[in-house]
Chain A
Amino acid sequence: MSDTAERVQKIVVEHLGVESEKVTQEASFIDDLGADSLDIVELVMAFEEEFGVEIPDDAAEKITTVGDATKYIEEHKG
C-alpha cells in the first residue's frame, strides 16, 4: 500500500470507527463503511488538512470509494 493509501485508510478508520481490514481501496464509503453524506464532507475536510490539497465540491461529489480519494489526492498533492 502506498503512503497516501495508508494515511487515507487511517483517517477513514478514525472518522467512521470501522475496522481497518474493511477499508480497502474498493470499499464504498456509503455502501460498505456505513457513512452518510455528511460523513463524506467531514472526511474530505480531513483529507484536505492531512495532505494540504484542496478538494472542490464538484470533485468531492465524485469521490465514492476509498480508492477514489487516494487517487484524487495522489494526482493533486503538491
Chain B
Amino acid sequence: MRRVVVTGLGLVTPLGADVETAWSNILAGKSGAGPITRFDASDQKCRIACEVKPADHEYGFDANKRVDHKVQRQVDPFIVYGIDAAGQAIEDAGLEDMDEAARLRAGCSIGSGIGGLPGIEKESLILAEKGPGRVSPHFVHGRLINLISGQVSIKYGLMGPNHAVVTACSTGAHSIGDAARMIRDDDADIMLAGGAEATICPIGIAGFAQARALSTAFNDQPEKASRPYDVARDGFVMGEGAGVVVLEEYEHAKARGAKIYAEVIGYGLSGDAYHVTAPHPEGSGAFRSMQMALRKAGVGPADIDYINAHGTSTPLGDELELGAVRRLFGDEIARVSMSSTKSAIGHLLGGAGAVESIFCILAMRDQIAPPTLNLDNPSEGCVGVDLVPHTARKREIRAVLNNSFGFGGTNASLVMKRPD
C-alpha cells in the first residue's frame, strides 16, 4: 500500500506567521488573545479574539511576502493566509521548482469552515447602500472556500486533484485525511493539505456569540478567556490563520531525499447524528472517530503518547471529548498527555485541525507536549489525565492523535507517527 508522509509545513497563526515562531511561542506558554482591533467591538457581547498580528508586530504577518498585491485586494483574508501557509509548506519541502510531470501529480486540498465572511458582510452593506452596480466583480471568487486551492494551484502550477473540504471546525483535519487518501489511492504523489479561516468581523463575532459559543466572561482579561478543561471556562475565543502541510507518497519523498517529518497512518470520520451545535451527550461520535483512526492506523491506545484535543473551552464539549478518550484509552489514559493548544491561539475553526496537526508533528519532532494554558482548576472529569497545564513538558512521543469536531456533528481524527 502507498504510504503518506509529511514533508513540508506552513503556518499563519495569532502567535506567529511562520512555523518556528508560532511553535516557540506555543511552547513558551504565550497567548495570542487580546481585545478585538479589526473593528469597533464595543457593542458586542464578546470583545476579544486571537487575531493574526500586523506586519510590524514582533510576530506579525506580512501578506506581501507571498501574495500578489492584486490578489490581496480581491480576496478575503482567509485566502491570503492560506496562500501564504501553502507557500511556506512548498518552500519547506523544497518543491518550488517542480517540473511539469511532477506538477501533474501534485494537488491541493485546502478548505475553510466558513469562507469569506468579512467580504460577504462588506459587500452586502455596499449592495444595500449603493446598489448592485457597486458590488465587486471579484466578490464571488474572492470569498469561495475552494479558492485557496484554486489560487495555490494557479500560483504553483499544480494540476493534480483540486479539492476543498467544508466541515466547519473539523475542516483542517478532514482536508489532511482526504488528501492522504488521494495519495494512497494513487490520484497524486503530492498534496498541499490544510485549512484556513478569518472571520473576526462584526457578523462573525455576533453570530457565534448569539449561538452562545464564545467566551464573554473574560472581556477584560483576554489572555485568560481560552481555558479548556478549567471550571471557569465559558466558551471559545475566536482565532484566525491557516495551516498547510505537504503530504507526499513515501517512496517519492525518499527518492528525492526529502526531509520527512511524520507519517499519516490513520484517519477516522464520523457523524454525531444528534444536534446542529451541541455534541452528542455521550461523546459517541468523537469516540467512533478516534476508534476508526486507530483501527486504520493499526495501532492501539498503548501506541499513542500525545493527543491534541479539540478542547475548545466550551462547557459541554471539553468534558465529552475527555470522556470519550477515557473510554477508548482505558487504563492507558494515565500514560498519555493530552492538551489543547486552543488555549494559546484560540479556535481557528476551519484552520484548527491543520494547525493542530502541525503542532502534533512538531511535538513528535521535539519530543515535547505543548501546554494547556489557564488550566487553574480542572473540572471534575479531568482527574487522572495529564492535560499538560500551564507549561510544556518534555516526554517521549512516538505517535499522536489529533481530534477535530464541528457544527453539524461532524468528527475527524488523525493518527500520525514519527518517521521510521
Min CB–CB distance A40 → chain B (angstroms): 9
- Across the interface, do B70 and A42 meet the contact criterion of CB distance under 8 Å? no
The residue from A16, A17, A41, A49 contacting B137, defined by CB atoms under 8 A apart: A41
B residues near A45, Cβ cutoff 8 Å: 133-134, 136-137
Q: How many A-B residue pairs have CB under 8 A?
A: 20
A residues near B69, Cβ cutoff 8 Å: 17
- Across the interface, do B138 and A42 meet the contact criterion of CB distance under 8 Å? yes
Asked if B396 is at the interface (CB within 8 A of a chain A CB), the reply is no
Asked if A71 is at the interface (CB within 8 A of a chain B CB), the reply is no
Q: A15's closest neighbor in chain B, by CB? A: B73
Min CB–CB distance A31 → chain B (angstroms): 16
- Across the interface, do A15 and B134 meet the contact criterion of CB distance under 8 Å? no
Interface residues on B, range: under 10
- Across the interface, do A38 and B138 meet the contact criterion of CB distance under 8 Å? yes
The residue from A39, A41, A49 contacting B70, defined by CB atoms under 8 A apart: A39
Asked if B121 is at the interface (CB within 8 A of a chain A CB), the reply is no
Min CB–CB distance A10 → chain B (angstroms): 14
- Across the interface, do B137 and A38 meet the contact criterion of CB distance under 8 Å? yes
Asked if B68 is at the interface (CB within 8 A of a chain A CB), the reply is yes
Q: A41's closest neighbor in chain B, by CB? A: B137
Q: B72's closest neighbor in chain A, by CB? A: A17
Bitwise interface map of B from 52 to 70 toward A, beta carbon under 8 Å scored 1, else 0: 0000000000000000111
Could you list which residues of chain B lie within 8 angstroms of chain A, going by C-beta atoms?
Answer: 68-70, 73, 133-134, 136-138
Closest 10 CB pairs of A and B: A17-B69, A41-B137, A38-B137, A17-B70, A42-B137, A16-B70, A38-B138, A42-B136, A45-B134, A17-B68
